[in-house]
């Protein structure tokens, strides 16, 4: 392949199947992990002293807030998106924490691969540009495979790898027919 393969991207080939994995590791979100665990532990220990069910329910609702924060940190720090490609289909899934349903797309329905830029504007932080990689289907629908890619080079490399995989499979199908 002529494309630049970023360090967050790994490619595994087995027989007629290729698995592309994009690691979403973000070390900055790990800084909040000890704080959230401390807050959750403090609330949990405090729950042992509650006398009424109302106090317990309130504590459980309050515990849900740092619990959601823990889920977001785990998603941003440890999750990766995998794209399994075989001669007939693409399967897109997240591991180890599934944040969306597994998507299966037939290769003959895919018309193109596109990269889009979007800007997140915030009053507290400077605006940030992010990239997403999508599959464009023959009925003009788009399926977003990867979102919030910070580096344009990473997004274009992923796009090129997917396009190469589609072209090789189409050439193979045309030759075998």
167, containing H or E segment:
helix 152-176
Confidence band for 115, pLDDT divided at 50, 70 and 90: very high
Question: CATH topology for 9-24+79-172?
Answer: PH-domain like (2.30.29)
Question: Can you tell me the mean pLDDT for 133-155?
Answer: 88
How many CA atoms does the CB half-sphere of 11 hold within 13 Å? 15
Q: Where are the domains of the chain?
A: 9-24+79-172, 29-75
Please give the residue that has the higher pLDDT: either 165 or 26: 165
Burial class (CB in 10 A: 0-12, 13-18, 19+), 158: buried
Please give the residue that has the higher pLDDT: either 110 or 99: 110
Chain segment 32-48, per-residue pLDDT in tens: 888 888 988 888 888 77
Tell me the pTM: 0.70
Show the tokens assigned to 168.
Answer: 């090789």
């Amino acid at each position: 392949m002529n494309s630049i393969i970023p360090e967050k991207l790994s490619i595994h080939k087995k027989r007629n199947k290729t698995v592309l994995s994009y690691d979403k590791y973000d070390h900055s979100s790990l800084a909040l992990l000890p704080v959230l665990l401390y807050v959750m532990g403090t609330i949990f220990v405090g729950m042992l002293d509650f006398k009424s069910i109302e106090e317990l329910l309130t504590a459980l609702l309050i515990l849900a807030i740092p619990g959601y924060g823990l889920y977001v940190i785990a998603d941003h720090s440890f999750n990766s998106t995998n794209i399994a490609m075989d001669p007939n289909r693409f399967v897109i899934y997240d591991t180890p924490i599934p944040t969306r349903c597994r998507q299966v797309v037939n290769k003959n329905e895919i018309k193109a691969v596109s990269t889009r830029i979007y800007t997140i504007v915030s009053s507290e932080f400077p605006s940030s540009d992010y990239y997403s990689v999508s599959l464009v289907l023959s009925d003009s629908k788009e399926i977003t495979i990867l979102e919030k890619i910070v580096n344009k080079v990473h997004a274009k490399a992923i796009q090129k790898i997917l396009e190469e995989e589609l072209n090789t499979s189409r050439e193979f199908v045309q030759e075998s027919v």
